[in-house]
Amino acid sequence: KGAFKTLKKKPKKFAKKFTFWNEDLRISRNKVNRLFKTYIKHKTEGSILEIIQSSGNAYRKERAIYKKLLVSTKRKAWESFCLNHNERFGFLFNLVFNRGSSENFIGVNPNNDPNNTIEDKINYLMDNFFPSPSSEDNLDYTPIIGHVEPMVLEDIEMVINA
Name, in order, each residue with C-beta under 8 angstroms of 27's C-beta and a sequence gap of 6 or more.
none
The average confidence (pLDDT) of the chain is: 75
The span from the CA of 143 to the CA of 140, in Å, is: 10
**Position 80 confidence tier, pLDDT thresholds 50, 70, 90:** confident
**Residue 96 · residue 19 · CB < 8 Å:** no
According to DSSP, residue 97 is labeled: T
**Averaged over 114-124, what is the pLDDT?**
75
pTM of the model: 0.45
Maximum average pLDDT range among 5-9, 70-74, 130-134: 70-74
**Position 69 confidence tier, pLDDT thresholds 50, 70, 90:** very high
Q: What is the model's pLDDT at position 59?
A: 96
The span from the CA of 87 to the CA of 71, in Å, is: 25
Name, in order, each residue with C-beta under 8 angstroms of 47's C-beta and a sequence gap of 6 or more.
none
**Structural domain boundaries of the chain?**
23-97, 103-131
Q: What is the model's pLDDT at position 94?
A: 54
